[in-house]
Structure 1
């Protein structure tokens, strides 16, 4: 009899403990939804976590095959790298799950409370950039508005408003807009001065930022355009001087990077409560291209995967049915393919964006934005 009573007492106490654990877990999950800042991502292949793999075409932007993804995920995810992207490391630092591509069929409102990734490989701020092949920034905004409507319907306006006001909105866009006129005919580029063309790119970007602000966004992160004038795919264009940086592209990038910070300061003046982190990606990337050994790389100008001089022909993974070479040790390389970085490089850049001092990432860094209420 005593044995039976003891058994029931133990079971009773066990039930109470389980109930307490269940309550604590429920409270933790509720707090996660209402208090933790979400991450919404806009941009191009630097941030695309796999949206492109859900589009059925044979574009050169595809990366849904080996050896992409070989380092961390051990299989191709649609990320144009051997492993994680800057956005993946940011999510990890912010104690968020990896933010999946918006086009992933399994997405739900529960996932959207943590954020969504709308970035798309090859995308630009202009609809004229790689038309018919990419999801441009304006269309990414429309996809975000669909998420807004979905969360408002599921959670109600008040709770959804809390999510969007506390979220961080991360942008990387513009590089493809400047590259496109060099590789294809662009009537917009040809009919305007270089300064005016750059103004169009910046204007389209800030217009989207203002739309996100109207929805409730207050905390934004931006990168300027990286040193793509020296990427392997660009530095082999002049066959008489292989490895040289493109002066025409460098000029456009310089104009953009000079004007873009002024646009952000204007937004800060005009939009009450607008806070932002701005990272000089051009400087941090160029520094690694020119001084790879300083940052633990053996090669800063050649891709790990590709073909031709500097592996600058984008055949990585047998794209378009063409053979490719693959380096032995990816951690020796800054660039994974002809124009995209390795996971190791992404991790280093993320550290600068996340916790860099004001002269590296400012006026806020991303960590400060996530902590800001």
Structure 2
């Protein structure tokens, strides 16, 4: 490659980086004054540790979680900030406080997400013989919390509609734990998860309807990560057959479940948009935001050697042993979390969250119809 060609490539890379940074900053142009988050451990900023009396079995309640940014445990399942933290920052708003912190400031929104939360209510999962090992605060419970909160700050429906006109809602990510529990704890077949997906997505769609009924007019509905790329699934479903892995060395059949779920979410959004033509409903493509980390790992600063390994963990090819989880005494932590995509067996590092949030903001910004 000639010197001038190299210079051109470097210039293009620089412009792409600048554009991504500008997109993150440009979320301020939407002038959101509140953000409301529903979801699972991807977004939980402390609800789980506030709702449970048994923190011993919850890894995210112990060091080294939070060490990169907070220097102490907040209940976030990462070494530092989550995507929702970066999204709030990009909107010019403070981090969202967990709803369960009754002394917190909720003037700029609230976070209702709970680690381990499912889209389907616990009684529906119980009827399917699917055990819940983490929380019973499913999407419907979180929505009930949200309505209780709005009842405390609104005089009536008209007042709520006025107050929430400039609010941004995230309904998810939620749903992958509906599949994770039966896949990991019971060894249920992948085909059964695909068959359950329409019911899971229907629950998410109904959640969006409830948000709209409360006064929400700008709503993001995220899809699933490629779950077959996470250390816990790579370990549990590990084989010696190359055909079981996709081009990213992730478990193909598990990523097919995630893609099936996401396609149903996209179809549900189209239906919801027809039902609610005055509401902006946008798909949050967390699947491709995650794959971007793998596809551009070297450019983004991740180590190719550690691409599918957990930073915090031990054992096997992916630094995961179910009997020695991150947060347990004696379990090692990598020296450079920013070189890893995965913080533990199922959660992303702060560095990964930062890049993913920039990617998602760039993707949703033109669709949010901010004028």
What TM bracket, shorter-length normalisation?
0.7 to 0.9
Answer whether contact 1:44 1:120 (CA < 8 A) is retained.
yes
Compare CA radii of gyration and give the structure with the larger one: 1
1:126 and 2:120 are equivalent in the alignment = yes
C-alpha distance in structure 2 between counterparts of 1:97 and 1:353, whole Å: 19
Deviation at 1:313, TM superposition (A): 2.7
Q: Which has the higher contact order (CA 8 A, sep 6+)?
A: 2
Summarize the alignment of residues 114-263 of structure 1 with structure 2, pairs less than 5 Å apart.
Answer: 114-127=108-121, 128=125, 130-131=131-132, 133-134=134-135, 135-152=137-154, 158-170=158-170, 171-185=172-186, 194-241=193-240, 245-263=250-268
Give 3-state SS (helix, strand or coil) of 1:99's partner. Answer: coil
1:54-105 CA-to-partner distances (Å, cap 9, x unmatched) read: 1122475441221111111111111001111111111111111111111113
Identify the residue that residue 52 of structure 1 maps to in structure 2. Answer: 48
Summarize the alignment of residues 21-36 of structure 1 with structure 2, pairs less than 5 Å apart.
Answer: 36=32
C-alpha distance in structure 1 between counterparts of 2:233 and 2:160, whole Å: 44
Deviation at 1:330, TM superposition (A): 1.0
Identify the residue that residue 286 of structure 2 maps to in structure 1. Answer: 281
Summarize the alignment of residues 107-118 of structure 1 with structure 2, pairs less than 5 Å apart.
Answer: 107=104, 111-118=105-112
Identify the residue that residue 25 of structure 2 maps to in structure 1. Answer: none
State the superposition RMSD in angstroms: 2.5
Deviation at 1:251, TM superposition (A): 2.7
Give 3-state SS (helix, strand or coil) of 2:341's partner. Answer: strand
**Alpha-carbon spacing, 1:173–1:238, altered in 2? closer, same or farther (3 Å):** closer
- Between stretches 63-72 and 305-314, larger displacement belongs to 305-314
Deviation at 1:304, TM superposition (A): 0.6
Answer whether contact 1:224 1:280 (CA < 8 A) is retained.
yes
Identify the residue that residue 326 of structure 1 maps to in structure 2. Answer: 333
How many aligned residue pairs are there? 320
Deviation at 1:152, TM superposition (A): 1.7
Deviation at 1:306, TM superposition (A): 0.8
Identify the residue that residue 311 of structure 1 maps to in structure 2. Answer: 319
C-alpha distance in structure 1 between counterparts of 2:94 and 2:299, whole Å: 32
**Alpha-carbon spacing, 1:113–1:105, altered in 2? closer, same or farther (3 Å):** closer
Deviation at 1:160, TM superposition (A): 3.4
**Alpha-carbon spacing, 1:318–1:68, altered in 2? closer, same or farther (3 Å):** closer
**Alpha-carbon spacing, 1:150–1:62, altered in 2? closer, same or farther (3 Å):** farther
Answer whether contact 1:168 1:217 (CA < 8 A) is retained.
yes
Identify the residue that residue 69 of structure 2 maps to in structure 1. Answer: 72
Identify the residue that residue 83 of structure 1 maps to in structure 2. Answer: 80
Provide the TM-score with structure 2 as the length reference. 0.79
Deviation at 1:113, TM superposition (A): 2.8
Provide the TM-score with structure 1 as the length reference. 0.79
C-alpha distance in structure 1 between counterparts of 2:288 and 2:56, whole Å: 30
1:353 and 2:350 are equivalent in the alignment = no
Identify the residue that residue 97 of structure 2 maps to in structure 1. Answer: 100
Deviation at 1:307, TM superposition (A): 1.4
Deviation at 1:240, TM superposition (A): 4.2
Deviation at 1:290, TM superposition (A): 4.8
1:264 alignment partner, one of 247, 265, 269 = 269
C-alpha distance in structure 2 between counterparts of 1:312 and 1:269, whole Å: 44
For structure 1, the residue ranges without an aligned partner over 5 or more in a row are 1-34
Identify the residue that residue 8 of structure 1 maps to in structure 2. Answer: none
C-alpha distance in structure 1 between counterparts of 2:175 and 2:231, whole Å: 19
Answer whether contact 1:83 1:342 (CA < 8 A) is retained.
yes
